Structure 1
């Protein structure tokens, strides 16, 4: 918790104090004002240092947030680049697969089974023929079915052998699709990284705002102490000015007193001198007064 100003330690000064207090009282009050002013200036300096420290931390957090912003934006640019590449490759793959489908349709291969599927079915039927006890009718039907499968296999194989480009086309389409998948994976990875930097940016800005609030509060405390110090300094100056005025008044009084004494001494000397002229006898003290006045 920040140190608060103890108002009870503040020194008050009214216009009445300036006018009515004695010189000794004013000298004492000036010392109190000076000491309290120095305490408050020290407090203001400490609060200013705390405020400056918090402002520096705020700038650090803002800089940190800016770094995360730059990294996020850079990653988002990469995301867009990989998205564009992925979309281009997917479009190319779609086009190639479309060509594969068109070729299959032209060869009437769309609904048929693959060579591997046909070969597996033939082997299963042959295994059944070899291992199961069948009636003559069932065995004849099984043999006919095996022959039909073999014919389908041979027919499909011949069509595919005559169109070797189909496999190449299909392989190319699959490779392009795989390459597109790599770019999609990159999009996901980079997007996650960008989101992380975005989250860190938001957090840094939030922390900067919190620290800035503390810095603003510290500045208010600094202003409070500085204004109190300034008020004590102004009152100290007022007392000093009043003391100089009193010194001048005392000096004037002393001058007036000296002048009055001189006039009094002069009048007395003239009176003695008149007695002297009239032939009266003067004592030693009277003679000294005449000599001092310059009349003798």
Structure 2
């Protein structure tokens, strides 16, 4: 597993495990069982150490998972807050654009009211003048036709100037145009904020997604490490249980040996007592006893 290599965790080598069979437990000598108990104890301790290391790494990974989840949640909160601001600026922008449209409609209406009887606006008159001037510059005309064209141009220019002067003299129109442009400018500022905030919100959204993805990856590694921990802990528990079984068997053997020694001592006392009684009987019959016989009688309390 990749997580094992990343944290340099030793693999659990099954070959190093110590096996205990019922036959070994029942028929093994005390010396063999003592040796086996030591092997089980040492392997149990190694496995417990291995399980502890894996539990520590698992806990570290779980802590990092929580950190990534917290980081993702922070990005989520910032994204949501920015989206709320985006919505607020959108509403303001739309409202201001609606106000600006109304003002520009009034401007157009007022400009229409200021037009001459022919109903032509400044832009239309300007375009007609440019077309007549272009014709004058590009066409070959007779003197009479050119004079008529020049008079026509002059008339159009006069109409244009009169209309322009009339429009320019209207301070109310200028104020209305200025107000409309200011409102439109303010709407544009809100639109710019919408764009900026939406970009920031998207950045936090992307960072949130990435943090959640990293949290999932780390959580998967933590789960793998937990499986390795369980593997080592279960093996350690089995070795401990077998160690306890061997210890129990050794205590049983100790009790058996103690019982056998006790029986042996009792048997020897009975033998010594029988021998002493035999010696005492000889003493009563007048036989002469040596020092060893006297000591045997003293030990048994017959002398």
Q: Under a length normalisation based on structure 2, what TM-score does the superposition of the two structures give?
A: 0.88
Partner of 2:143: 136
Match of 1:246 in 2: 253
In structure 2, the partner of 1:107 is 114
Cα distance in structure 2, aligned partners of 1:207 and 1:244: 55
**How far is the alpha carbon of 1:153 from its aligned partner?**
1.7
- Please point out which of 244, 260, 270 is paired with 1:263: 270
Q: State the number of aligned residues.
A: 295
Alignment equivalent of 1:226, drawn from 224, 233, 251: 233
Partner of 1:195: 202
Residue 210 in 1 paired to residue 217 in 2?
Answer: yes
More displaced 10-residue stretch of structure 1: 50-59 or 212-221: 50-59
Q: Deviations over 1:119-138 (max 9, x none)?
A: 68658867987998742321
Secondary structure (helix, strand or coil) at the match of 1:24 reads helix
Q: Distance in 2 between matches of 1:98 and 1:122?
A: 27
CA distance in 2, matches of 1:295, 1:63: 92
Partner residue, 1:152: 159
User: Does the aligned pair in 1 maintain the 2:61–2:218 contact within 8 Å?
Assistant: yes
Query: 2:37 corresponds to which residue?
Result: 30
Q: How many Å apart are 1:147 and its aligned residue?
A: 3.8
User: Which sits farther off after the overlay, 186-195 or 54-63?
Assistant: 54-63
Once the 2 structures are TM-superposed, how far is the Cα of residue 43 of structure 1 from its aligned partner? 1.2
Deviation at 1:222, TM superposition (A): 0.6
Return the TM-score normalized by structure 1.
0.90
Is 1:19 equivalent to 2:34 in the alignment?
A: no
Q: CA shift at 1:21, angstroms?
A: 0.6
For residues 53-110 of structure 1, give each alpha carbon's deviation from its aligned partner in whole angstroms, at most 9, with x where no partner exists.
2212212211221221122112112211211111111011011112112223333479
